[in-house]
């Protein structure tokens, strides 16, 4: 089913903490804050590849469960309508969810006529491709604002690959350049000012996400971005793996791979030129499935619920 539309620019939530206030939430001054809402839904952020059944099942459960879940699938990260959307539609249907493909453009996303359509869903799923296309379709639109409001009311939002990268406010575009604007010929270099970023949905404040992480050896790309944006947590998600963001702001890992979290808030650059850089003091958390992480405290945690 083809509908209209486009997204909305997610608010960047930034707050400065000084002295003891910073210590209370585990963030240094100037950090972007992980906001705790009194009520909001969950995020399921998948690093690409084939999404395991267990992750899809969790998504449907959070959307209301079989017979109740109503899912909107957004394929706008690709310019060609391919088989992926139909496959996901079929998989969600087998799990008992009523699902619809909404292939909408920016003009349609600005239309009020799309509001009642979007309000019917309990879950929203963003497919892979190019995150820049997804952002250009939805940022700043009425449709994304409506989806955000549904999320605040308890809806679940998920995405894979490009649909994962777009979840944060600061989004990796996939391009790497030198300080003179030329494309960086060495994709594996840790280099300052080499990793392009754009605006994403901002559903996960305080972080920047990279996907297909281990398979495509993207450690250095993410570290390069963090040296330019040290107030953010870098989140590298493997294929067939999901980061679950709970309503209370804490994180879980599901799937077949790992999530790596880089914390450069106390790091410093030891070499800074256009070609390469070094840094010291970056903390790394390597989280296999069933791991839990509290981003407010910056450490692996455990809780019963």
pLDDT of 98-139, one tens digit each? 999 999 999 999 999 999 999 999 999 999 999 999 999 999
Has residue 25 got a pLDDT over 50?
Answer: no
**Cα separation of 100 and 46, whole Å?**
20
Give me the pLDDT at residue 19, please: 29
Find the range with the poorest average confidence among 32-41, 154-163, 193-202, 290-299: 32-41
Give me the pLDDT at residue 81, please: 64
Place of tokens 């390469």: 276
Give me the pLDDT at residue 200, please: 97
Per-residue burial over 237-257, b if 16 or more Cβ lie within 10 Å, else e, is: bbbbbbbbbbbebbbbbbbbb
- Please check whether residue 208 lies inside any domain of the structure: yes
Has residue 15 got a pLDDT over 90?
Answer: no
- Please check whether residue 11 lies inside any domain of the structure: no
**Beta strand ranges found along the chain (DSSP E):** 43-46, 70-74, 98-101, 123-126, 156-160, 170-176, 195-199, 207-210, 233-237, 241-245, 251-255, 259-263, 268-272, 277-280, 283-287, 292-294, 299-300
- Please check whether residue 4 lies inside any domain of the structure: no
- Please check whether residue 177 lies inside any domain of the structure: yes
**For the chain, percent of residues with pLDDT exceeding 70:** 80
Give me the pLDDT at residue 270, please: 81
Query: Which has more pLDDT, 273 or 124?
Result: 124
User: With bands split at pLDDT 50, 70 and 90, how would you rate the model's confidence at 184?
Assistant: low
Sequence-ordered list of residues with C-beta below 8 angstroms from that of 103, at least 6 positions apart, any chain: 2, 3, 74, 75, 76, 81, 85
Provide the pairing of β-strand 123-126 with 156-160.
parallel
Averaged pLDDT score across all residues of the chain: 84
Give me the pLDDT at residue 37, please: 42
Give me the pLDDT at residue 58, please: 98
Has residue 23 got a pLDDT over 70?
Answer: no
- Please check whether residue 254 lies inside any domain of the structure: yes
Task: Give the angle 187-190-196 at the CA atoms, nearest 5°.
Answer: 65
When divided into structural domains, the chain yields a total of 1
Give me the pLDDT at residue 134, please: 96
Residue 278 contacts residue 271 (beta carbons within 8 Å) = yes
* Average pLDDT rounded to a whole number, residues 1-14: 34
User: With bands split at pLDDT 50, 70 and 90, how would you rate the model's confidence at 9?
Assistant: very low
Which two tokens mark 269?
A: 């650059």
Other residues' Cβ atoms within 10 Å of the Cβ of residue 270 = 10
- Please check whether residue 202 lies inside any domain of the structure: yes
Which domain does 78 fall in, by range? Answer: 20-300
User: With bands split at pLDDT 50, 70 and 90, how would you rate the model's confidence at 246?
Assistant: very high
- Please check whether residue 10 lies inside any domain of the structure: no
Find the range with the poorest average confidence among 145-149, 210-214, 257-261, 275-279: 275-279
User: With bands split at pLDDT 50, 70 and 90, how would you rate the model's confidence at 22?
Assistant: very low
* Average pLDDT rounded to a whole number, residues 248-274: 89
Q: What is the CATH number of the domain that holds 146?
A: 3.40.50.880
Query: Which has more pLDDT, 302 or 175?
Result: 175
Query: Which has more pLDDT, 78 or 61?
Result: 61
Query: Which has more pLDDT, 196 or 79?
Result: 196
- Please check whether residue 130 lies inside any domain of the structure: yes
- Give whole-number Cα distances, 299 to 19, 211, 225, 291, 295, in Å: 20, 21, 21, 11, 7
Of 250, 276, 255, 191, the closest CA to residue 226 belongs to: 191
């Amino acid at each position: 089913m083809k509908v209209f539309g486009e997204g909305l620019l997610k608010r960047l939530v930034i707050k400065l903490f000084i002295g003891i206030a910073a210590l209370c939430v585990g963030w240094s001054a100037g950090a972007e804050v992980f906001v705790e809402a009194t009520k909001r839904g969950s995020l399921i952020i998948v690093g690409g590849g084939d999404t395991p059944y267990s992750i899809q099942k969790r998504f449907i459960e959070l959307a209301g469960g079989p017979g109740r879940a109503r899912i909107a699938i957004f394929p706008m990260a690709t310019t060609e309508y391919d088989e992926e959307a139909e496959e996901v539609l079929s998989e969600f249907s087998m799990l008992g969810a009523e699902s619809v493909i909404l292939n909408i453009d920016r003009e349609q996303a600005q239309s009020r006529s799309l509001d009642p359509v979007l309000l019917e869903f309990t879950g929203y799923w963003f497919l892979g491709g190019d995150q820049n296309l997804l952002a250009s379709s939805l940022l700043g639109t009425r449709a994304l604002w409506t989806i955000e409001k549904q999320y605040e009311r308890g809806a679940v939002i998920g995405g894979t690959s490009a649909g994962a990268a777009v979840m944060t406010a600061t989004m990796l575009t996939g391009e790497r350049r030198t300080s003179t604007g030329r494309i960086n010929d060495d994709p594996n270099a840790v280099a300052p000012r080499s990793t392009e970023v754009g605006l994403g949905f901002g559903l996960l404040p305080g972080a920047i996400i990279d996907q297909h992480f281990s398979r495509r050896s993207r450690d250095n790309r993410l570290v390069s971005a963090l040296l330019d944006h040290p107030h953010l947590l870098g989140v590298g998600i493997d294929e067939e793996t999901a980061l679950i963001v709970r309503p209370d702001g804490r994180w879980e890992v599901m799937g077949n791979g790992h999530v790596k979290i880089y914390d450069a808030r106390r790091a410093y650059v030891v070499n800074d030129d256009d070609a390469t850089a070094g840094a010291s003091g970056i903390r790394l958390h390597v989280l296999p499935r069933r791991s839990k992480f509290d981003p407010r405290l910056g450490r692996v945690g455990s809780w019963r619920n």
